[in-house]
Amino acid sequence: MSSPPLAVASLTDPLELVAARLSGWLSARAGRDGVDPVVRPSDHADAQVNGALGLAKELGCAPRELAQEIIASGLLDDLCAEVEVAGPGFLNLTFANDVLNGLLTAVAGSERLGVEQSASPQTVVIDYSAPNVAKEMHVGHLRSTVIGDALVRMYESLGHRVIRENHIGDWGRPFGMLIEHLLDLGEDVAAAGLGQGDLDGFYKQANAKFADDEEFQRRSRDRVVLLQSGDPDTHVLWNRLVAMSTDYFNEVYSKLGVLLTNDDLMGESQYQPLMAGTIERLSQAGLMQESDGASVVFPPGFTNRDGDPLPLIVQAKTGGFNYATSDLSCVIDRVERLGANLMLYVIGAPQQQHLEMVFAVARMAGWLPDNVAAVHVAFGNVLGEDRKMLRSRSGDSVKLVELLDEAVERASAAVNEKNPDLSTDERAAVARMIGIGAVKYADLSTDRVRDYVFDWNRMLAFDGNTAPYLQYAHARICSIFRRAEEDRSVDRRFAVTETAEHDLALKLLAYPSAVADALTSNSPHKLCTYLFELAQQFTSFYEHCPVVRAEDAIREARLGLCNVTAQTLAAGLALLGIDAPERM
RNA sequence: GCCCCCGUAGCUCAGUGGAUAGAGCAACGGUUUCCUAAACCGCAGGUCGCAGGUUCGAGUCCUGCCGGGGGCGCCA
């Protein structure tokens, strides 16, 4: 796999400027390409260069001497106020304030805050959310939806062409039973119930009937056959059922504030017409084998519990297709019709082996050429305080809408208590931003592959790594401008002098790198960590450096820092799909 | 049995092969005639699950164990 880089090096992050310069010099010194100077943030200075240690060994010289050579090259002279060799051969860098001022000016002058558009935009297909028709959306869908949505926003911000794919479960055996239940209830009754979001009730009733009513079972099975054979009346009913569900999904999406619309729907059913062709192509490629009556492909490297090769079953012995067939058809569709260069599957971790097998078979068949990457963006479970899968008191999975409503309710109570001056409308709007933001941020702010513990008090706290804390920092800055009676959009002359200003400037300039790091690993939590550190850096600055009551030039310069901080917080939160209120 | 993921402070979590492993909660002690105290500062708190190995250098890479979770043929 050789894809062009998804993110471009920042032209405004001083660490990256250093890395770019030293990489060339060190490569020439070593006589080979691509030497990484290993420039990192440092506890001992603004940044440290570690590359001399590794390269000195390769070149057979003393690390400290090589570090001295780097200094002597003069390459860092115009960037750094101070450069010193430390320890076994580290290079500690302190950037010059006027360099930071210049870079800040460049950043403040652009909407993009230093984030470069990709020079080679990719077509990125992101598969996420994927609820099931006639089934409730629960916390399991929360993660896929929220993580996928953040990734969509991040890739789009770098100029990539993003295609959202909501692979809803709208096909399969249960639909015979669901359609029969729809008929039994009468469409109006069913529509009323489903319209109110009682999807679980509908599904469970149908399931219960199926369990102990033989006649219903027979009708259901017949109905599946009718559905699959394209019977027009059955399809009308099926369409109704799907539409009722997608209307409901859209309500949840609207509540959550994600980008998905009906245009992004690409359910299981869409791939049905393609599956026979998929089987045919596998067969012609000579990959198909028969095993216990089923048609299978054996991708190398997978074994079952007996140590035997593990097949990917693409056609059951009954002749029916399954999700492997569907997922393979899906790969073909995304590569050949949509022109995908990168496909992200935002799906729970348990699907890992299945997806690996699908990707492996697709590569064997030539459907995934080397310039197309398929990535499983896996995530862990949402746990309750008992550290087990989050469940409601009755033991059912928690309905997503109820969770979101409770979040807004809790945020509303906090806002009412802490800022009663806001108008009723504004309070409601702010409560929504805080409540939904808190839920999303809690989901996004830890490494996605791990499970996380769902805790109302923690996610809604105004302290710590939470959405409300970041939103508060942003609102506070907006408040400064109101108090100062200053326009935020005015260009200001930066004049970093104090340590707190210097450190804040450095953090602000690291934003593009934070976005790039989050994007290349598909890990929104890296952006969260950055934003939290930025907010902390800002409050520290704000404690030490008076803004509104400072003298003219200093006041202007500090207002400039405040403004870029607010812009960066808002932009970063926006990439996560979280709103930043101007007051709260 | 085989495979995958996780294991870092009392709790929740960061940590790109680099220096004395960092935050936030909670605890303790401070800071409000002062721009939003919804905040800030300080103080504590660690056998990075265990044992080997690679490396000038390992929380990070490799191997083997231990503990937790998940997956392993015709559901999606």
Task: Specify which residue's alpha carbon is closest to the C1' of nucleotide B25.
Answer: A464
The residue ranges of every structural domain in chain A are 14-95, 123-132+155-169+267-342+350-373, 174-260
A386 touches strand B (CB under 7 A): no
Which residues lie closer than 8 Å to A65 by C-beta, 6 or more apart? A56
What are the angstrom distances between the C-alpha of A584 and each of A302, A457, A463? 54, 18, 15
- β-partners of residue A389 are A383
Q: Which fold has domain A123-132+155-169+267-342+350-373?
A: Rossmann fold (3.40.50)
Residues 52-71 in A having a C-beta less than 7 A from any atom of strand B are 53-54, 57
Whole-number Å distance between alpha carbons of A358 and A296: 12
Q: Which CATH number fits domain A14-95: 3.40.50.300, 3.40.50.970, 3.10.129.10, 3.30.1360.70?
A: 3.30.1360.70
- The separation, in Å, between residue A42 CA and nucleotide B20 C1' comes to 13
In this prediction, residue A3 carries a pLDDT of: 66
Which residues lie closer than 8 Å to A159 by C-beta, 6 or more apart? A117, A118, A121
**pLDDT means over runs of 10, chain A (584 residues):** 76 96 94 93 94 92 95 96 95 96 94 93 97 90 97 97 97 92 86 73 88 91 92 94 93 97 97 96 95 94 87 94 96 98 96 96 96 95 87 82 95 89 91 96 96 93 94 95 92 93 95 96 97 95 91 93 96 97 93
A421 touches strand B (CB under 7 A): no
**Strands (DSSP E) found in A172-220:** none
Write phi, then psi, for A210 (nearest 5 degrees): -60, -35
A393 touches strand B (CB under 7 A): no
- The separation, in Å, between residue A522 CA and nucleotide B74 C1' comes to 33
A541 touches strand B (CB under 7 A): no
Whole-number Å distance between alpha carbons of A60 and A71: 19
Residues 186-245 in A having a C-beta less than 7 A from any atom of strand B are none
**DSSP H or E run through A126:** strand A123-127
Place of tokens 């039973």: A177
DSSP codes, A150-173: HHHHHHHHTT-EEEEEB--B--ST
A479 touches strand B (CB under 7 A): yes
A318 touches strand B (CB under 7 A): yes
A503 touches strand B (CB under 7 A): no
- β-partners of residue A296 are A289, A313
- The separation, in Å, between residue A357 CA and nucleotide B70 C1' comes to 17
In this prediction, residue A196 carries a pLDDT of: 66
Q: Which nucleotide is nearest to A550 (CA to C1')?
A: B35
- The separation, in Å, between residue A219 CA and nucleotide B4 C1' comes to 41
In this prediction, residue A1 carries a pLDDT of: 46
- The separation, in Å, between residue A139 CA and nucleotide B67 C1' comes to 27
A254 touches strand B (CB under 7 A): no
A173 touches strand B (CB under 7 A): yes
Which residues lie closer than 8 Å to A188 by C-beta, 6 or more apart? none
A416 touches strand B (CB under 7 A): no
ipTM here: 0.96
Residues 7-36 in A having a C-beta less than 7 A from any atom of strand B are none
